[in-house]
Structures are given as structure tokens and as C-alpha cells.
Structure 1
Amino acid sequence: MLKLVGGTGVTAQPMRAAIIIPARFASARFPGKPLVPLRGVGGAEKSLIQRSWEAACAVGGVAEVWIATDDDRIADSARRFGAQVVRTPSGCRNGTERCWAALCEAGIDAEIIVNLQGDSPLTPPLAVELLVETLRVEPQVRVATPMIRCSPLQLDRLTEEARRGRVGGTTVVFDAATDALYFSKRVIPHVPERSRDAPVYFHLGVYAYRRGALGEYVQMPPSPLEVVEGLEQLRFLHCGIGVRMVEIPDPAGGIWEVNNPGDVVLVEAALAERHLA
């Protein structure tokens, strides 16, 4: 957001923002996930990492997009479709730590860093733009991430996945200021049977950080709840760094992440509904 500085007529430039897409090959639930092919309209196949990169490139108001990985196969594939690649250490425990490593390795000087995880190719550009704008206009917000209110269909699927002991997505509860109180891989809050209008919010795996908040994060050890849930963002809450939730509308086809092999068909259906090749 452009602002005038003190009546001088000089237009201040917005804080510089960069998108980093962390990607690793050794996923416990879905090994090789970044390179899995996804069919779009007309049957064209592109890898998950390429579709995530294309989603990032469609975002307005950011200066650069990088793929951060420790794997030669992902790096080689990314370079072939034209992405900027930064190699990061294999010891990064999650995408947030990999984003910090990418900043250091590539010398990225952005003040706002967006972590667009490589399993979220359906992330609307508007969602990322709203996160960046939130940090630009609200100086007290240090981390922001999007959410959507679950439709009955989405809630049914999340509940069924939980019954099967599978991860179907992450939900979040928040306070009156829309700052996160807790994230979970189970459905929160508790939803009584046959409730069709429960206030359940699905969390999208995209984050915008101020550079300082990201630097503080990597200095802290993993928190106990982070380890139990397997959710990196819980470390921010444990350390007292607030996470602002930004609600976005549910786009055509819904927003599904690729957490398990069975999610591929859902993502491909959404690509078709959005007419994405």
C-alpha cells in the first residue's frame, strides 16, 4: 500500500516481499510428493511443485519467487520449468526453517517473506496478496496466514478423514481479534453429530512473516505441541508471537492440499473447475 511521507510529496515504496516455496522429497505420508503429476484441463500434466510455483507467480505485489529444496531431483525439475532455485540444508525440520535457510543462502533481502508450501497449488493469488497487505498496513502483526470457513462438504470430509486416522487438513480456532488460539490436525472445535453449521475453519498452509519474526523462530527449539501435532506454526504461539488469521472466500472447486495420494483426484477436479491447464 503506497503512502505519502510527511507532506513532502515523496511516495514511499511498500515493503519488499518475496515468496519461497519449500519442498522436500522425503515426505513420510507421500514420498516424492513434489514431483507427482497433476492433470489440468485437457489432460495436461504438470508436477505438484510446478503448479505451486505457477500459483506463486500469479501473485501480485511480490518481488521474487524461489523454490527452496535439498533434493537434486526437485531442483533439476524446477530449473527446467524456469524457477529460481536455492539449495538448503537437509537438516531443516519444516518449511519455516527452510525459508530462513533460503534467505541466508540466496541473500534474499525482502522484509516480508511468504512461505507458500509446495503441496498447496490451489492457493488463490488473492489469499497471498491479503497476507502481504496485512503485514504492510498493520505494523503490530508479525505473522499472518489464511483460513476459510468449512462448507458442510469440507467438514464431512475432514471428519471422515479423522475417523480413519488420516490427516485431511488443519483447522484453527481464534480470538475476537482473529489471532490464532490453536491449530490442530483434528477438527476443532468439537462438532456435535449432524451439526451442519459448525464454525470450523480450515487453515491454508501459507504464511507471511516479518523477517524478524522468522529469525526469532529459528532460534527457538521445537515446542512440545508442535512436535505432537506436527504443525510448525505452533512454535510461534508457544513463543508468544501472535499469528493473525485472514479469512478468504472459498474459491471454485474448494481448496485442497496434497497430504495423501488420495488427495490428487480432489486437486485435479478443482483444477478442471477453475479451467487451469
Structure 2
Amino acid sequence: MSVLIVIPARYASTRYPGKPLVALTGASGVAKSLVQRSWEAALQVQGVDRVVVATDDDRIKATCEAFGAEVVMTPESCANGTERCSAALDALGGGYNIVVNLQGDAPLTPHWFVEDLVQGLQADVQAEVATPVLRCDGEALNGFLHDRSEGRVGGTTAVFTQERRALYFSKEVIPYTPERYANDAETPVFHHVGVYAYRPDALKLYCDWPTGPLERLEGLEQLRFLEQGRSVLCVEVEARDRQFWELNNPEDVPRLEKMMSDMGMD
């Protein structure tokens, strides 16, 4: 199957304007933009036919072309990354069996997360969309709870059926846990990793559906599929001692830089 990775990059973020161009300093002291680090993460994924950045902003376009990325210009009207992926696929003329949305705020996404995700969607013919979930240890869960107590969104959590079909995604920490866990303890909470693999037909249908109340309240694009009764496969991935976090708020910059330093990532 042919696989396309699209990195949606929007300048006008509500919570963090200009986020794709924010510089992150790696272990060697070299600073690179968030979108460049996301591009480099995408290039590590095996079995991919093409990687493009999809944007509507000339500043992002110029930055990406300077480090050698292929850029597809998409309309300003795209409401989220999924719509931007659909627009990019149209602009490229289609021709791919699976489209991966590697969101530009997750430069620490390991290549095996995406590889496992694509394999999961290929193996499950009933699933229209797939997304990775990572079981939280106590340290990650406590970080989520701390962020929420401070009024910040530290990440998205997911709950799903025994068949790994998504039930709900939330910026709150779900399910509720009546106890705290030691940093190295396994917990029942799963961190939703902001990557999606779509079949092209599902991606096209998505743009025809109206934004539902849950998507609007949570600000989570994947809820549109659930509100339409569509099947979203949750693929559990393993950290393999890699630290993972998304850049959601300005306060996350030093957190990501420390993670990169700890892991020796340039």
C-alpha cells in the first residue's frame, strides 16, 4: 500500500500563535524549528512513499523550503489538521492508500509509533481511521493531573473497547483514577498520541460532515468521526524508554528541550 505523510502546520493557532516556527534546542545546543523537527521525525518512518508539509502561511512555507521540505499550500479555511490533510491529498491528486496526519506539535514521535499505526490500519479492514495510544506511567499521569490543576491542557487521553475501538477522547484525564501512582507504576490511563492514519474515503467524508458539539467543546478533531458513528481504531504503542510529549503550550518548550537533552537528541 502506498503511504503519504502530511504534516499540517498552521501559524494562527488559538493557544499558541506561530507554534510551528518555535525553536527547540537539542542536546548538542542546535536550535531547530518545531516544524523542521517534525519533518525530520517523519523522514525516519519506514515504508512511506512521500512526506509533505501542508500549510496556508508563507512564513512557514519559506522556512520549510529552506530546510528542504516539500510544501503543499492549502486553504486558510481548513479548520484542523484532518481537513488540511484532505486538502493536501486533493492538491496532490490522490493516489495513496493511506494518509498519515503527523501533527506538527509532536516532534518526539518515534518512527515505530507511525509504523505500528499504519500496520494496524492495514490489518483491520473494518477500521476507517487509526490512532496510537500510549499507556501512561505514574510520572506521565501525574504530569497530566498537575497541568489540569494549573488550568493547562497537558495532553489528550483516550478510552476504548476491548476490541480497541475508540469510545471517547478528552482533554480531561479519563478514566477517573481514585488514587495516585508512583512514577514508575503502570496506570489504566492512555495518552492519545496526536497521529492519525486515514483511508482516503474516510478523509474525504470528514470534510462533508458538520462540526459536532463534542468536537467543538473539546477542540479535538477526531471526535467528528465518533460523533458520526464511524470506527476509530486505537493502536497501542510502546515507548521503548523514549520520552514523549507534545508542544501544546509555551510552558512545554523547556519540558521538550529537557527530554531531548536527556535522550541525547540533537
Fold in common (TM above 0.5): yes
Equivalent residue in structure 2 for 1:182, among 168, 174, 177: 168
Q: Which residue of 2 aligns with 1:50?
A: 36
Deviation at 1:47, TM superposition (A): 0.4
Q: Which residue of 1 aligns with 2:259?
A: 270
Equivalent residue in structure 1 for 2:180, among 187, 194, 208: 194
Deviation at 1:194, TM superposition (A): 2.9
Q: Distance in 2 between matches of 1:210 and 1:139?
A: 10
Equivalent residue in structure 1 for 2:204, among 215, 230, 236: 215
C-alpha spacing 1:58/1:153, structure 2 compared with 1 (3 Å)? same
Q: Distance in 1 between matches of 2:166 and 2:247?
A: 23
Q: Distance in 1 between matches of 2:226 and 2:95?
A: 26
Q: Distance in 1 between matches of 2:211 and 2:80?
A: 10
Q: Does 1:116 align with 2:102?
A: yes
Q: Distance in 2 between matches of 1:213 and 1:171?
A: 23
Aligned 8 A contact 1:113 1:209 in 2: yes
Q: Which residue of 2 aligns with 1:254?
A: 243
Q: Distance in 2 between matches of 1:136 and 1:242?
A: 14
Provide the secondary structure at the position in 1 that maps to 2:133.
Answer: strand
> What is the correspondence of 1:91-130 to structure 2 with a 5 Å cutoff?
91-130=77-116
Gaps of 5+ in 1: 1-14
> What is the correspondence of 1:27-176 to structure 2 with a 5 Å cutoff?
27-176=13-162
RMSD: 1.2
**Paired amino acid for 1:163:** S
Q: Distance in 1 between matches of 2:240 and 2:9?
A: 24
Aligned 8 A contact 2:27 2:265 in 1: yes
Q: Distance in 2 between matches of 1:207 and 1:106?
A: 19
Which structure has the greater CA radius of gyration? 1
**Paired amino acid for 1:96:** T
Deviation at 1:140, TM superposition (A): 1.3
Provide the secondary structure at the position in 2 that maps to 1:173.
Answer: strand
Deviation at 1:106, TM superposition (A): 2.3
Deviation at 1:253, TM superposition (A): 4.7
Q: Does 1:228 align with 2:182?
A: no
Deviation at 1:198, TM superposition (A): 3.6
Aligned 8 A contact 1:252 1:270 in 2: no
Aligned length, in residue pairs: 263
Deviation at 1:28, TM superposition (A): 1.4
Fraction of identical pairs, as percent: 53
Q: Distance in 2 between matches of 1:46 and 1:251?
A: 25
User: Where do 4+ consecutive residues of structure 1 move more than 4 Å?
Assistant: none
Aligned 8 A contact 1:253 1:273 in 2: no
Aligned 8 A contact 1:60 1:129 in 2: yes
Q: Deviations along 1:59-89, whole A, 9 cap, x unmatched?
A: 0001000000000000000001000100000
Provide the secondary structure at the position in 2 that maps to 1:113.
Answer: strand
Q: Distance in 1 between matches of 2:258 and 2:29?
A: 11
Gaps of 5+ in 2: none
